[in-house]
Amino acid sequence: MLTLPDFKEKKIVFIEAEKDIDHQIRFWNSNIRIFKDGEPVNQISCYLVLCIFIVGNTSLTTILIQKAQKYGISIFLLNYSLKPYAEIMSQAEGNTALRIKQYTMAKQTQLIFAKHIVENKVNNQFTLLQETGNISSQNTLQQIHKSETMQELLGAEGNCASRYFQQLFTAHEWGRRAPQTKEDITNFLMDIGYTYLFNYVDAILRLFGFDTYKGFYHQLFFQRKSLTCDLMEPMRPLIDRAIIKGYNLGIINKNDFVFQRGSYKLKLDVKVRSKYSLLFFKVITVHKEGIYTYLRLFYLHLMNPEKYQFPTYSTI
C-alpha cells in the first residue's frame, strides 16, 4: 500500500500522440522514455509515476507493460476524442480480507454508507453554489436523512442534482444533465472531466485491492465499476468548478468544438485537445493528496470501523 509521503511524489503523466509521427514509449533504465520517429524526446523515472494517460496512436513495448506492473503504474489509452478504450491496471488482487468485507456487507450498512456519500456530495455542491454566487436550499439533506431505501435516496439525490446544475450553469445555456449524449458543450466537458476523475479514483482503489465492480450505492450491473462510481460522487464538484473556471477565464471557446450527428466533439487539433485535458488534469493533480487520503480512510474504515470513522471529502 502506498503511504502518503510516497504518494506525494507520484505524478500523473499525460502523453498526446501527434498524427503522422511514429510515437513509442519504452522502458529505459528505470525510466519511461518517450520517442518520436525513433528519437528520444522526454523521460521520467518509474518511481515518480502513478498513472499514464495516452491519447492517440502510440506503440508500447512488452517490457514497458511488465515494468509498469512492477512499479505500480496504471496506463489508460484514449482516442483523439479523449474517450478511453483500454487500460493496463496495477492492482493488489490478493487482498482477500478486504474483498470478503465488500461481498458480505449488510444491506443496512450499504444504505448508511450511501447516505454518507450522498450527503457529502450535496454539501460539496452547496459549497460550490455559494462560491459562484448562487443560492440553493439544503432541504435535500432532510430527505437524505429520512430515506429508508436506496430508491428514496436516489430520488432525493436526483432532485438535488436537477436544481444544482440548473443554478450552476444557468449562464451557459444549460438544459439538463445528459450523460454520454454530448448534446451541448457543458455536458460534453463534464463527461471528459468525470471520466478522468473516474479513472484516477479507480486506479487508487485497485492499488488497495478493492473489487471496484462491487459497490454499495451503485448496485451491481454488468461491466460497471460501481464502487468507483460510489466514491467519486463527493468529488464531482471538482470537475464542475473547473468547467465554471474555464468559462469565466475564457478557456472554453465554442470555436474549439464541432457539432456532428447530434453531438459535440473537439476539433482534431493537438493544442485544442491538450487545453481541455490539462484543464481537468490540473484540478486532479492539485487535489491528488486529498483524494488519496479520502480513499485510504475509506479503506481503513471498512477494515476497522470501530477505530476509523467513515471519511468526508472536502472539495475546498
Task: List, in order, residues 6 or more apart from 139 with CB less than 8 Å away.
Answer: none
Instruction: Judge whether 193 and 202 are in contact, CB under 8 Å.
Output: no
Domain boundary among 22, 56, 88: 88
C-alpha closest to that of 103 among 259, 211, 250: 211
**Cβ atoms within 10 Å, residue 96:** 9
In angstroms, rounded to a whole number, what is the distance separating the alpha carbons of residues 108 and 144?
A: 15
Counting residues of the chain whose pLDDT is more than 70, the rounded percentage is 97
- Residue 313 belongs to some domain of the structure: no
- Residue 180 belongs to some domain of the structure: yes
**Cα 34 vs. chain centroid, distance in angstroms?**
25
Domain boundary among 53, 88, 123: 88
Report the binding-site residues for Mn(2+).
157, 218, 233
* Residue 200: CATH number of its domain: 1.20.120.920
Instruction: Determine the pLDDT at residue 9.
Output: 82
pLDDT digit string, tens, across residues 170-219: 899 899 999 989 999 999 999 999 999 999 999 899 889 999 999 999 98
Verify that 104 and 33 share a domain, yes or no: no
Report the binding-site residues.
157, 218, 233
* pLDDT score of 84 more than 90: no
* Residue 8: CATH number of its domain: 3.100.10.20
pLDDT digit string, tens, across residues 263-277: 999 998 888 988 999
Residues spanned by the domain of 15? 4-88
Verify that 12 and 105 share a domain, yes or no: no
* pLDDT score of 4 more than 80: no
Instruction: Determine the pLDDT at residue 284.
Output: 93
- Residue 315 belongs to some domain of the structure: no
* pLDDT score of 138 more than 70: no
